[in-house]
């Protein structure tokens, strides 16, 4: 899911019996569609328990597809439908994004029809949201379930006569002490001199898990008797029947925050309740607001990441999603802590909402509208009223246009985000690179920059610095014309995403030399057309220190990937997506991927993978998606000591079986840490067999799209695939 997602699994104490009971209802009992609810006051662990069940290996295997959405106090049905569609891997197009609620609901219904599904609706407040959604959940008497969490017990009675409510209780003193110890010492035990004080503090939390976790984050910062005695004197006992009273207990952790962290924490209140917060965006906003202090030679982004980790360690922020290397990709807040943010922000007049509903023209630089964005009162670095010369600017464009040259007048702008609904229809002005403080340039939907359209004066303007020392990020750009000079002016670039469409007559990829970008760590290359023949890298040169590489539609041969592995010894992440590589067999060799931790293969036509554990000695996460021709995963991969997760999405059943066999073999020798996640195929084996057996002609190739998957087959093969698909599914 892109907008909002579930939090990752946290430690659960005292809910083993409840989890087992709900699990039996989810995967057993009646065949007709049933509602299951988890109810209780805020902070009891409803979402944590629901997440634990949602990610349970048996549950992930039992249900064909699973979906998750948040409701919150002011639910928007369109957002909830989009959440669920994302989580069941519907490919998002402009058409889908512009659908009405009814059309989205119909699409969801078709996606769920005939499949055993589990849908989780987290934090449901109003029965109206369920009434508007339930018609889109088909009842095929196959054991499908809808589970929701709510603080309102009556909702479960109104939702369905056959609903099973589970009211969470408070933790006992023994369970509370177990949770507090685990948060403070993990597998260790509390020192004797702290036990008495610790239990006094624990009792004042009254069995509320959230209060225990938040207080533990405070205690962990200084594990001395003196510090803990100050905490026990500050924590008061409150009436557990009124959740609002707990805000004073939670406020203790806010009051103890260092001065530099308080504005960062309060700023989180500007995001909607229960929403997943992209860390990349949050850090850019923190930097733009001037919250981040320069420390030595470290970048502001690195310092901001430390600030976020400090808030997470204090249990004031929850990790929602991690990257392959363990870094935080998205975070969220518990709703009680969100309430605390807003309460404290109001007390000091920190946040004020701006509402602007007037329609304006997207072609005028002074008229881009900003909906419900926060403005910081009492600070000189106000974020989002245009006349304040912003440091962070997000522009949403619905039509093709060229951004006006006057955008370069935003001399303090550090982050520019361009969101367009029409792919690659936004053209950047020639002087966009003249913004002196620009650090990050994101194009969600793509944007073009054509040097050939720029005047000589614009290119050779010596009134602006030729070296963009601050620029760190350029993503989703089609840089047309001669761009070598432009990239030469960005020596400190760390992240680059380019859409290229140039291939030489000899079949080599024409791509600018990037060898001089010594700080570049993340590179994404996408060929924005479908080439007729496999292409080669030729003389392309990459910086040796690249750690993350994504190739999409590049149509390279597998030998080129081996060459890349040799050229990029620091490579930790490799994503090969949508015909990035073309060829039926990948035979790896030793020493090519010594540091690779994450490998993703998506939408490739490879049939056989020949490798051994020594070829990927550091691999931690293997992801396969829509590789419909692949017969199996080599069993030798199970011998990689670092391997923690194998994820298989919509591959043939023989691949699924080979992965299960790997897990069984590893468990038989005591390796219990290897985790396997399998999303079962949407096609059956007959469909797979028909596709895998098709002839393939390099001279006559037609793309056949199935969601994320692209097959390359000749004309006869195309007709055969279509015949099989229509016969089996009734639609194309």
Percent of the chain with pLDDT over 90: 34
Torsion of CA 568, 572, 578, 583, to 10 degrees: 50
State the architecture of 173-255 in CATH terms. Orthogonal Bundle (1.10)
514 within 8 A of 538, measured Cβ to Cβ: no
Buried b (16+ CB within 10 A) or exposed e, 680-718: bbbbeeebbebbbebeeeeeebeebebeebbbbbbeebb
* Domains of the chain, residue spans: 16-167, 173-255, 262-352, 354-493, 693-729
pLDDT of residue 619: 96
Buried b (16+ CB within 10 A) or exposed e, 319-356: bbbeebeeebebbbbbbbbbbbbbbbbeeeebbeeeee
Q: How confident is the model at residue 462 (pLDDT cuts 50, 70, 90)?
A: very low
Q: Which residues contact 181 (CB under 8 A, 6 or more apart)?
A: 189, 190, 198
Q: Which residue has the tokens 């053209």?
A: 427
Q: How confident is the model at residue 42 (pLDDT cuts 50, 70, 90)?
A: confident
17-26, 214-223, 504-513: which has the minimum mean pLDDT?
504-513
**For residue 69, what is the enclosing H or E element?**
strand 65-72
Q: How confident is the model at residue 145 (pLDDT cuts 50, 70, 90)?
A: very high
653 within 8 A of 681, measured Cβ to Cβ: yes
Among candidates 15, 21, 343, which has minimal Cα distance to 209? 15
550 within 8 A of 571, measured Cβ to Cβ: no
306 within 8 A of 313, measured Cβ to Cβ: no
| Sequence-ordered alpha helix ranges (H) in 220-317 | 225-234, 246-255, 262-267, 279-289, 300-313
- Strand, helix or coil for residue 523: strand
Take residue 290 and report the two structure tokens written for it. 């001037």
Q: Which residues contact 379 (CB under 8 A, 6 or more apart)?
A: 289, 290
Name all contacts of 134-137 with Cβ < 8 Å and 24+ positions apart: 135/105, 135/109, 136/81, 136/105, 136/106, 136/108, 136/109, 136/112, 137/33, 137/109, 137/112
pLDDT of residue 429: 84
Among candidates 430, 395, 388, which has minimal Cα distance to 411? 388
pLDDT of residue 424: 60
- Strand, helix or coil for residue 296: coil
- Strand, helix or coil for residue 347: helix
CA dihedral sign of residues 191, 194, 200, 205 = negative
Q: Which residue has the tokens 């959230």?
A: 210
Average pLDDT, the chain: 79
pLDDT of residue 371: 30
Q: How far is CA 727 from CA 207, 468, 686, 709, 716, in A?
A: 58, 58, 11, 20, 17
Percent of the chain with pLDDT over 70: 77
d(CA 123, CA 131): 15
d(CA 429, CA 401): 10
pLDDT of residue 398: 73
Q: CATH classification of 16-167 is 3.40.50.300, yes or no? A: yes
Q: In what order do the strands lie in the sheet with 145-150?
A: 65-72, 117-124, 145-150, 34-39, 164-167
Q: How confident is the model at residue 10 (pLDDT cuts 50, 70, 90)?
A: low
pLDDT of residue 355: 39
Q: How large is the average pLDDT for residues 607-627? A: 95
pLDDT of residue 4: 36
Q: Does the pLDDT value for residue 710 go beyond 50? A: no
**For residue 154, what is the enclosing H or E element?**
helix 154-159
d(CA 41, CA 244): 10
DSSP of 661-700, one letter per residue? Answer: HHHHHHHHTT----EEEEEPPSS-HHHHHHHHT----TTS
**For residue 590, what is the enclosing H or E element?**
none
Q: Does the pLDDT value for residue 684 go beyond 70? A: no
pLDDT of residue 358: 37
pLDDT of residue 387: 63
Name the more confident of 375 and 141: 141
The Cβ-side half-sphere exposure at 338, using a 13 Å CA radius, reads: 18
d(CA 332, CA 312): 10
Among candidates 479, 480, 509, which has minimal Cα distance to 496? 479
pLDDT of residue 427: 84
292 within 8 A of 286, measured Cβ to Cβ: yes
Q: Which residue has the tokens 């994320």?
A: 708
| 309 bridge partner residues | none
**For residue 351, what is the enclosing H or E element?**
strand 351-353
pLDDT of residue 727: 39
Q: Does the pLDDT value for residue 13 go beyond 80? A: no
Q: For residue range 641-678, list pLDDT tens digits in order.
A: 999 999 999 899 999 999 999 999 998 988 888 989 88
Q: Does the pLDDT value for residue 695 go beyond 60? A: no
pLDDT of residue 252: 75
262-352 and 16-167 share a CATH fold: no
Q: How far is CA 598 from CA 6, 433, 618, 680, in A?
A: 22, 34, 9, 22
d(CA 195, CA 189): 9
Q: Does the pLDDT value for residue 685 go beyond 70? A: no
User: CATH classification of 262-352, choosing from 1.10.10.10, 3.40.50.2300, 3.30.70.20, 3.40.50.40?
Assistant: 1.10.10.10
Length of the chain equals 732
d(CA 35, CA 162): 7
Q: Does the pLDDT value for residue 68 go beyond 90? A: yes
Q: For residue range 98-140, list pLDDT tens digits in order.
A: 888 899 999 999 999 999 999 999 988 888 888 889 999 999 9
Q: For residue range 246-290, list pLDDT tens digits in order.
A: 677 678 778 888 999 999 999 999 888 878 899 999 999 999 989
Q: What is the distance, to the nearest Å, from the Cα of residue 241 to the centroid of all Cα atoms in its chain?
A: 36
d(CA 635, CA 265): 47
């Amino acid at each position: 899911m892109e907008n909002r997602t579930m939090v990752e699994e946290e430690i659960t104490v005292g809910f083993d019996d409840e989890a087992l009971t709900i699990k039996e209802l989810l995967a057993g009992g009646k065949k007709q569609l049933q509602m299951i609810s988890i109810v209780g006051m805020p902070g009891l662990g409803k979402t944590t328990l629901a997440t634990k069940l949602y990610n349970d290996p048996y549950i992930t295997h039992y249900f064909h597809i699973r979906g998750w959405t948040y409701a919150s106090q002011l639910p928007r049905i369109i957002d909830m439908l989009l959440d669920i569609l994302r989580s069941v891997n519907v490919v998002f197009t402009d058409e889908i994004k512009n659908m009405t609620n009814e059309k989205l609901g119909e699409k969801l219904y078709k996606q769920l029809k005939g499949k055993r599904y589990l849908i989780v609706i987290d934090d449901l407040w109003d029965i109206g949201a369920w009434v508007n959604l339930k018609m889109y959940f088909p009842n095929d008497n196959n054991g499908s379930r809808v589970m929701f969490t709510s603080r309102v017990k009556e909702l479960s009675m109104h939702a369905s006569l056959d609903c099973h409510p589970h009211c969470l209780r408070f933790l006992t003193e023994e369970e509370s002490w177990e949770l507090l110890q685990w948060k403070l010492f993990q597998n260790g035990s509390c020192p004797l001199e702290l036990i008495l004080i610790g239990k006094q503090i624990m009792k004042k939390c009254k069995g509320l898990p959230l209060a225990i976790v938040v207080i533990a984050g405070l205690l962990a910062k200084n594990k001395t008797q003196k510090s803990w005695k100050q905490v026990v004197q500050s924590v008061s006992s409150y009436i557990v029947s009124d959740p609002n009273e707990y805000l004073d207990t939670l406020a203790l952790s806010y009051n103890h925050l260092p001065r530099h962290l308080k504005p960062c924490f309060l700023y989180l209140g500007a995001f909607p309740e229960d929403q997943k917060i992209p860390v990349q965006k949050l850090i850019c906003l923190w930097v733009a607001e001037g919250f981040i202090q320069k420390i030595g030679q470290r970048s502001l982004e690195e310092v901001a990441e430390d600030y976020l980790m400090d808030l997470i360690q204090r249990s004031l922020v929850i990790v929602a999603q991690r990257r392959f290397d363990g870094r935080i990709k998205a975070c969220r807040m518990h709703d009680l802590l969100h309430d605390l943010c807003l309460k404290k922000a109001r007390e000091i007049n920190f946040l004020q909402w701006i509402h602007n509903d007037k329609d304006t023209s997207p072609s005028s630089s002074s008229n881009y509208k900003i909906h419900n964005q926060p403005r910081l009162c009492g600070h000189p670095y106000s974020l989002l009223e245009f006349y304040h010369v912003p440091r962070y600017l997000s522009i949403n464009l619905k039509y093709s246009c060229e951004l006006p040259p006057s955008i370069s007048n935003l001399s303090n702008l550090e982050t520019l985000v361009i969101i367009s609904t029409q792919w690659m229809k936004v053209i950047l002005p020639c002087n966009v690179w003249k913004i002196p403080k620009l650090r990050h340039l994101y194009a969600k939907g793509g944007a073009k920059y054509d040097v050939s359209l720029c005047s000589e004066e614009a290119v050779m303007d010596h009134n602006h610095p030729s070296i963009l020392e601050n620029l760190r990020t350029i993503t989703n750009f089609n840089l047309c014309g001669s761009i070598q000079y432009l990239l030469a002016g960005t020596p400190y670039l760390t992240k680059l995403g380019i859409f290229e469409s140039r291939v030489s007559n000899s079949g080599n990829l024409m791509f600018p030399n990037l060898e001089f970008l010594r700080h570049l760590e993340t590179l994404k290359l996408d060929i924005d057309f479908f080439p007729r023949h496999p292409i080669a890298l030729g003389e392309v040169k990459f910086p040796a220190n690249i750690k993350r590489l994504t190739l999409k539609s590049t149509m390279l041969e597998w030998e080129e990937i081996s060459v890349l592995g040799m050229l990029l010894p620091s490579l930790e992440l490799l994503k090969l997506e949508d015909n990035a590589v073309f060829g039926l067999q990948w035979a790896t060799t030793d020493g090519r991927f010594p540091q690779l931790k994450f490998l993703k293969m998506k939408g490739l036509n490879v049939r056989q993978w020949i490798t051994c554990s020594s070829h990927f000695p550091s691999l931690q996460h293997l992801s396969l998606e829509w590789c419909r021709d692949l017969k199996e995963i080599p069993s030798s991969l199970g011998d990689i000591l670092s391997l923690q997760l194998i994820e298989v999405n919509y591959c043939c059943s023989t691949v699924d079986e080979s992965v299960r066999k790997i897990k069984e073999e590893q468990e038989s020798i005591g390796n219990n840490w290897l985790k396997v996640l399998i999303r079962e195929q949407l096609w059956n084996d007959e469909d797979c067999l028909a596709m895998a057996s098709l002839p393939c002609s390099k001279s006559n190739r037609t793309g056949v799209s199935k969601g994320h998957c692209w097959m390359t087959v000749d004309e006869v093969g195309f007709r055969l695939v279509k015949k099989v698909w229509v016969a089996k599914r009734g639609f194309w």
